[in-house]
Amino acid sequence: MKLLLKLFIAFIMMFANIGAVGIGRNERTADDIPAAAGVSSFVSMDVYSKRTLFEENGSAKRYPASLTKTLTAICAIENKDIDSEVVTDKSVCGIEGSSIYLKEGETYTLKALLYGLMLRSGNDAATAVAKYVSGSVENFADLMNKTALKAGAKNSNFTNPHGLHDENHYSTAYDMALISAYALKNETFAEIVKTKSVRVTYKDPSGEEKVKVFINKNKMLSMYDGADGVKTGFTKNSGRCLISSATRGGFSVVTVVLNTYDMWKKSKELLDSSFNNYERVTVAKADEMVAFTDIEGETEKCGLYIKNDVILPLTKEEKKSLKVEKEYPSSLKRPIKKDEPVGKIKIYASNKLIFEEKIYTIIEKK
């Protein structure tokens, strides 16, 4: 009996420095949360081309809640070394809502905080990341808005890194899909959001090394074949929100559902519809000449090309009606700069413009 007692005590001591960050006593899961008032919004988008596949109320103004952290994460990854160390101060501790329970004087790598941000939706982690990257939440919000515009999101405004309610903090399903598609092209971001659980080390205020285990709240990673992200969200004003992503056969789709009670079911339906109704088609290849144009006063011509492959998700009907048009000047005047945008290649399906890409100058034909 004494031997069993000693073994039990040894087992407990072995895990004394490991904290599993799962559901706190006062923290509800997404399934416990009632629907908010108002109409839901959703968008399904091809990550590569950013073509919208399905949409309803996609441009309606909405509060993005913790989906905000998708933008927070990519801002941090793009602007700081993720292996750099962050020392927590008093101001980041005890932020309301979901938490990874940071304490003053602890030391984490930025990457560890990003796992806490994206897997556990820690509002304290979001604040710590923002202050580390930009010095203040206000400065970080400026960075968020600049990055959102870079991703193509033109109808959003972000005032904080966590998504806690603010009347001036808003987005749309379409904008959040653009931000997510932009972020998913970053390997570090993609690695973090597809992780189901992770063990991170940190130092307490005395310098002693400890461990936390973060378990991802995103059930889609386990319930949908090919799922690889991204983020859950909720506030009373936003309702239940979810960004999901999945990849099958090289075809990556991101879906955003806002203020949707059964967000898991709706996200699955959108992903299924996207994969079942669309297939990727290579319309044009990067670095291939798409045209030649005259050079004024010369017999030589200037070659024109596109920098990126044009690979689009198309339905069977769209494939039958596909049309490619090229717009560029009939002649160019020297001096001609290499890689100067001078036109566009436009892709039509069923007489509707579905995609366009810039055409650039390359070298004169010899």
154 belongs to the catalytic site: no
d(C-alpha 106, C-alpha 122), whole Å: 15
12 CB neighbour count, 10 Å cutoff: 9
Residue with tokens 């006062």: 26
144 CB-contact burial (10 Å; exposed 0-12 / middle 13-18 / buried 19+): buried
Q: What is the pLDDT of residues 54-92, one digit of tens each?
A: 999 999 999 999 999 999 999 999 999 999 999 999 999
Q: Output the pLDDT for position 253.
A: 99
321 belongs to the catalytic site: no
d(C-alpha 253, C-alpha 241), whole Å: 17
d(C-alpha 253, C-alpha 94), whole Å: 36
Q: Output the pLDDT for position 23.
A: 39
pLDDT at position 46 over 90: yes
Token output for 166 = 């603010």
> Which of 116, 68, 78, 33 has its CA nearest to residue 243?
68
Token output for 12 = 């407990």
Taking the chain, what is the end-to-end CA distance rounded to the nearest angstrom? 91
Q: Output the pLDDT for position 22.
A: 53
> What pLDDT band is residue 19 in, cutting at 50, 70 and 90?
low
Q: What is the mean pLDDT of the chain?
A: 91
pLDDT at position 286 over 90: no
In the three-class reduction of DSSP (H, G, I as helix; E, B as strand; rest coil), residue 296 is classed as coil
pLDDT at position 120 over 90: yes
For Cα atoms 167, 34, 168, give the angle at the middle one, nearest 5 degrees: 5
pLDDT at position 196 over 70: yes
Indicate the pTM of the whole model: 0.87
d(C-alpha 101, C-alpha 92), whole Å: 10
DSSP bridge pairs for 242: 232, 257
Q: Output the pLDDT for position 289.
A: 75
For 300-331, the three-class secondary structure string (H helix, E strand, C coil) is: CEEEEECCCCEEEEECHHHHHCCEEEEECCCE
d(C-alpha 34, C-alpha 38), whole Å: 12
Helices 123-134/110-119 angle, 10° precision: 140
Catalytic hit among 121, 156, 180, 238: 121
Q: What is the pLDDT of residues 294-327, one digit of tens each?
A: 999 998 899 999 998 999 999 999 999 999 999 9
98 belongs to the catalytic site: no
Tell me how far CA of residue 272 lies from CA of 248, 254, 261, 304, in angstroms.
11, 12, 19, 39
> What pLDDT band is residue 16 in, cutting at 50, 70 and 90?
very low
> What pLDDT band is residue 285 in, cutting at 50, 70 and 90?
confident
Q: Output the pLDDT for position 21.
A: 57
Average pLDDT over residues 172-184: 99
Q: Output the pLDDT for position 37.
A: 46
Q: Output the pLDDT for position 38.
A: 56
176 CB-contact burial (10 Å; exposed 0-12 / middle 13-18 / buried 19+): buried
pLDDT at position 248 over 80: yes
Domains and CATH numbers, the chain: 33-277 (3.40.710.10), 282-364 (2.60.410.10)
Q: What is the pLDDT of residues 335-350, one digit of tens each?
A: 988 899 999 999 999 8
> What pLDDT band is residue 26 in, cutting at 50, 70 and 90?
very low
> What pLDDT band is residue 25 in, cutting at 50, 70 and 90?
very low
Catalytic hit among 41, 44, 49, 66: 66
For Cα atoms 308, 311, 316, give the angle at the middle one, nearest 5 degrees: 165
Percent of the chain with pLDDT over 90: 82
pLDDT at position 8 over 80: no
Average pLDDT over residues 144-163: 98
Helices 68-79/123-134 angle, 10° precision: 30
Catalytic hit among 44, 49, 69, 267: 69
Which has the minimum average pLDDT: 103-107, 285-289, 298-302? Answer: 285-289
DSSP bridge pairs for 332: 295
Cα dihedral 312/318/321/325 (nearest 10): -30
pLDDT at position 365 over 90: no
> Which of 59, 274, 254 has its CA nearest to residue 175?
59
pLDDT at position 174 over 80: yes
Tell me how far CA of residue 41 lies from CA of 152, 180, 259, 270, in angstroms.
19, 16, 7, 12
